[in-house]
Chains A and B, each alone.
Chain A
Amino acid sequence: MAILVIAEHDNTSIKAATLNAVTAAGKIGGDVHLLIAGSACAAAVASAARISGVSKVLLADAPQYADQVSENLAVLVVAQVSAYGHLLAAATTSGKNFMPRVAALLDVAQISEIVAVESTDTFVRPIYAGNVLATVQSADAIKVITVRTTAFEAAGEDGNASTENLPSGPDLVQSKVVGRELTKSERPELTAAKVIVSGGRGMGSGDNFHKLLEPLADLLGAAVGASRAAVDAGYAPNDYQVGQTGKIVAPQLYIAVGISGAIQHLAGMKDSKVIVAINKDAEAPIFQVADYGLVGDLFEVVPALQAALA
């Protein structure tokens, strides 16, 4: 049976998280098809067809898919299900929005945030905030799976898949997107960044957060993240949050500045390749996971770091 990956896109390009989901699908084994539900999304389809490992792109192009609202998308996905044994999506806020609905409509148990594929019905997923890895076997005929993107490499872009048009499903006229306020940034996206500079409560204020971390991030070509403490204190917007209730990241280099390292924060970044911690408290738990620890006042260390990098 083929595997269907539901693409996340903005009608012009495919979101990077989809590439990781395609890799996970490849590990299950079988033909990988990619579903794009959108409106006037030819550009997204063109880039989808180039993703390595995808043998066919299914396109449903209709106005009701412009914002990919979950009700319409879930019904469309369920309509395709007879040809597939596995449905996959990245565990992003989009995937976590519509996939449970798909699972409910099919009356199957979703397997969430898998980090490894053991066989066609057995997967590894983190439980207890990533402190335990559970290997689970699904007895459902159709496996509805979300993929933790940091656990799989991104698929390459040297494929050449054919495109097939799907009849679009009904417009259920349920939830309707009336506005989006997207954080505009020249910096890379947190979940896709190679380097992340992250600040915690130790930054002291929102001003310090921006004045100290942003220049450092720009020097490194890094994304800026934050701990929950910093977000709750209003130093940084909500979507900067790294951790159990925020984004799960695994960059090549993670620099934690003024972050003590609560277990919920560690759950979101401990798969980073190299972790650097800068904190004035030598006993802070962040040092137990850091490859390089620097005990010192961040207000002196960060400018010095900048000077050393410049």
Chain B
Amino acid sequence: MNWPQATFASKVVVAAAQATVTREIDGGLETVEVPLPAVVTVDLRLNEPRYATLPNIMKAKKKPLETTNPAALGVDVTPRLKTLKVAEPAKRSAGLKVADAADLVMKLKTEAKVI
């Protein structure tokens, strides 16, 4: 759609013609301003989702449901990716238990050689 975008949003403030979005990036936070309309994808800490109550679920069931198909919308949904195989990654097995901190440091130094 060539709309502006703001991904990983943790805070969104919408004003008349633009939105100010705080994004979670690798090193911290980034604040961007995007003109509207824009596409915003959100991070898990944006808000608490509200849960549907039973009466609302019952009401929702009565809403009309419009069915369409990809052809009517003019999109091609032929998969471009073919999954050739799936495999389980190598499992880690439980290692050994050490008695105390001194033992742990000794093992890390002599067995694992990582410190």
Contact = CB atoms under 8 A, between A and B. Distances in A.
Interface of A: 69-71, 92-94, 96-97, 101, 108-109, 111, 122, 126-127, 130-140, 172, 174-183, 189, 191, 195, 220, 232, 237-239, 245, 247, 252-253, 270, 273-276, 287-296, 301, 304-305, 307-309
A21 to B, nearest CB: 14
Interface residues of B, number: 54
B10 A180 contact: no
A69 B96 CA distance: 48
Interface of B: 3-8, 10, 20, 23-35, 38, 43-45, 79-89, 92-102, 104-105, 107-108, 112, 114-115
Contacts of B25: 93-94, 180, 239
B5 A180 contact: no
Contact of B84 (A109, A122, A182, A301): A122
B93 to A, nearest CB: 8
Given A177-B30, A293-B96, A136 B24 contact: no
A180 B28 contact: yes
Contact of B82 (A101, A137, A182): A137
25 contacts: A96-B7, A108-B80, A109-B81, A111-B81, A127-B86, A131-B88, A132-B88, A135-B87, A137-B84, A139-B80, A174-B38, A177-B32, A220-B115, A247-B26, A291-B96, A292-B104, A292-B108, A292-B112, A293-B95, A293-B98, A294-B97, A294-B98, A304-B102, A308-B102, A309-B115
A92 B88 contact: no
A293 B94 contact: yes
A252 B108 CA distance: 11
Nearest to A140: B80
A203 B79 CA distance: 47
A296 B101 CA distance: 10
Given A71-B4, A136-B84, A137-B84, A294 B31 contact: no
Given A93-B26, A94-B25, A305-B101, A292 B96 contact: yes
Nearest to A92: B26
A15 B34 CA distance: 26
State the 8 A-B residue pairs at the shortest beta-carbon distance, nearest first.
A174-B4, A304-B101, A291-B95, A109-B80, A182-B28, A253-B114, A179-B31, A305-B101
Contacts of B96: 291-293
A109 B20 CA distance: 30
